[in-house]
A = this chain, B = another copy of it.
Amino acid sequence: MNTLLDDDIANLMRALGHPVRLSILRILAQRDSDCCCTDVTQMLPLAQSTVSQHIKVLLDAGLVERHAKGTRNCYKLRTDRLAQFGSACSGLFNGLSAEPAPIKELV
């Protein structure tokens, strides 16, 4: 389980808080194997260095993993972490939409 703290949730939110990074995740989801930085760059109107930076943000957030393949670095989603974040979000939203605390705490 190892449920996420607010700091962790905030970090993940920030990592996903850029449309280009959402695009990168979608691209990786479709071409899940052997997708390298150049592949991603070709699908985006950005310089390679910029895409590499965005991928690094996703790497640091643990949402993506890297494995070398010859001269290329291939990336793929960390579905475990995505699922973990997904349930953390559910928990967050449920907690927020719960009724306000009553005057007395229940036993």
A80 to chain B, nearest CB (A): 10
Chain A: residues with Cβ within 8 Å of the partner, total of: 37
A17 touches B13 (CB 8 A): yes
CA distance A77 to B100 in the complex (A): 11
B16, B83, B97: the one within 8 Å of A79 (CB): B97
A-B complex: 10 closest residue pairs judged by Cβ atoms: A14-B17, A13-B17, A32-B100, A86-B93, A10-B19, A29-B96, A13-B16, A13-B13, A6-B22, A6-B19
A74 to chain B, nearest CB (A): 13
Chain B residues with Cβ below 8 Å from A43 are none
- Which of B11, B33, B82, B96 has a CB less than 8 Å from the CB of A25? B96
Taking a contact as CB atoms under 8 Å apart, the answer to whether A97 and B29 are in contact is yes
Q: How far is the CB of A7 from chain B (nearest CB, A)?
A: 5
Q: Does A9 contact B (CB under 8 A)?
A: yes
Q: Is A98 an interface residue (CB 8 A)?
A: yes
Cα–Cα, bound, A31→B65 (Å): 41
